[in-house]
Every structure is written in structure tokens, then in C-alpha cells.
Amino acid sequence: VSSGQDYGLFIKTDRSLYGMGNNVHGKLGVGNTVSRHSPTLISSSKITAVATGYLHSAFVKVDGSLWMMGHNWQGQFGNGVTQANSNSTPLEVLSSGVMEVALGHYHTLILKTNRSVWVAGANSHGQLGDGTNTNRSSFKQIYSSGVAQVTAGKNHSIVLKTNASVWTFGRNDKGQLGDGSTTSRSTPVNPITSGVSEVFARGY
């Protein structure tokens, strides 16, 4: 299950995907922008992961394909384009190799099956972790291996490596990167070196 600002998505035990709540920009992926006040089927395919952002959503199928819906004005779909119009039906962005996806306000992180991390979308606070503040409309690799989990807040991101260390990047005005400062970072910093089993970020 994943909850956005004013909507939610969940995977049932049969691996079908449902959503409810605000549907502005078609972020529920049901083919229109009408809000849903009860759970509505989005996909009956075998879904293994789901994520909600602010105005965009994503899910991963059992075949490793990545699907996105909603707002793509900052290139957060990672499909090489920015769109003035939104997608109210799921759009296949990658055909294979994805195991996990995390969404921020207008940015996206994906963890591939080879444990590499790729990023796309808004980057004004360095939340893509690529050493710049340049938005990316195509996925860019920031880790080649060794990552266990990814998660995203509004304008910051967190990576958990397989060695149980935590790496953070992006906006840091409230100290959300945990590096002892309030300085935003466009390259990952390492506030925790060992002993972590799971990470989660949120916030709008």
C-alpha cells in the first residue's frame, strides 16, 4: 500500500492494483480525472510494487516493467519527454529490469534487479543525487550496484545500501538528510554507516 497527498493505491493478495481518492491529472490511472470515493480497479495484472507521489504514480509488474500515470511536466516519468498534458491511463516506461520505485513531489527513483539506482524528474534541490541541480527527463544512473532500497520525500531522497549504510541527498532545510547540517546536497552523504534494515521518507 502507498498513500499520496490525498489518494492511495494498494495491491491485493491476487496482485491486482486498486486506488481511491483525489484523481487530479489522472494519477489513479483509471482513464479519466474523476476522483474515486471507494477502491477502484486500476490493473488486474500481476503487480509487485507501487508508489505514490504528489501528482504522479507508478507501479511495477511481475515482469519487471515500470508503469507511470498522472503528471509528467518535470520529466518524472523518465521516458525522455515532458508533457503539458497528463496521462490518465498507465504508460509503460521501461519494459523490464525494475524491482522497486519511489516517488517524491516531482522526482522518481527506481531500483533495478541488478541493484543499480536510476533517477528522473525535478532536481532543483539536488534530490536526484547526480551532482547537479539539472532536471532529468530521462533516467540517469547514480548507483551501479549494491543498493537494497530507495525512498523519497518531497524534495529529498534516501538510499539504503546492501551493507546496511544510509545515503541521503536533496533538500535539507529541516535537517532531513541527517548529516548534521541544514545544507542541501546534490551528491549523496552518508549519515549512518551501518546497522539499518529499512528506510522510509515522506512529506509535502
Mean pLDDT rounded to a whole number for the chain: 97
> C-alpha distances in angstroms, 195 versus 102, 163, 192?
22, 8, 8
Say which DSSP state 19 is in: E
Q: Give residue 41's pLDDT.
A: 98
Q: Give residue 5's pLDDT.
A: 84
Residue with cell 541488478: 114
> What number is the average pLDDT over the span 74-93?
94
- For 163-200, the pLDDT digits (tens) are 999 999 999 999 999 999 999 999 999 999 999 999 99
Q: How far is CA 133 from the centre of its chain?
A: 18
CA distance 164 to 166: 7
Q: Give residue 126's pLDDT.
A: 98
- For 141-159, the pLDDT digits (tens) are 999 999 999 999 999 999 9
